[in-house]
Amino acid sequence: CDIEDETAKSYLEVLGEKSDRLKILITDLVEASKAATGNVEVNLVKISLREILTQLVGEFSDAFAKDNLDVILSVPDSDITVSADNKLLYRVLENLAVNIEKYSMQGTRVYISAESDGTKGIIIFKNISKDPLNITPDELAERFVRGDSARTTEGNGLGLALVKRVIDIMQGEIGVESAVGVGTTFTVRIRRTENGLEEAR
């Protein structure tokens, strides 16, 4: 039946939002469990970093604009292609973009770029965090806890954990760099290892 009561409507809206978050959490838990046990099917194909990053920026353009984030996408004129699982790699990039959306200082720039050192394809995400990162980069990379120790903002904390596990499965590597204090520069680099995300020419 139609519900006209405004208080009831607001409760239903909250219930809907919490249900959506719970669905995401359950999905992430299942994927994290599969990743932890290595029970993930990997289908390596040739992927254009220009195409996948352009698609990502387009998908998140409204969300970034909502927080007044100016996204600077930088890819070389000569495209870089890597051998990776398209679905898994895009999930990694989505998780990084969601973290940027949630934790960036409003009105700042976000840098997303692709580069190559000749044998490796590298994707770099850089943003300015709105809150201090109260842990070291090593702790963030290894434990993948949330930067705000009080956990006062939304999120389930599984995003970065999934990122690391999925990259490990594809035999890539991920690193985190940051500085202490508000306005932290947070950089994530993804590259292939000896037998991993090898650049395909």
Long-range residue pairs from 14-18, CB within 8 A, at least 24 positions apart, any chain: none
| Spatial separation of the C-alpha atoms in residues 163 and 35, rounded to whole Å | 10
Annotate 32-43 with b (16+ C-beta within 10 A) or e (fewer): bebbeeeeeeee
Q: Summarize pLDDT for 92-143 with one digit per residue, the tens.
A: 888 889 888 888 999 999 999 998 877 778 899 989 888 776 666 666 655 5
Place of tokens 């120790």: 149
Residue 36's pLDDT band (cuts 50, 70, 90): low
Closest CA to 48 of 114, 126, 125: 114
Higher pLDDT, 140 or 149: 140
**Would the pTM of this model clear 0.85, i.e. be above it?**
no
**155 three-class SS:** coil
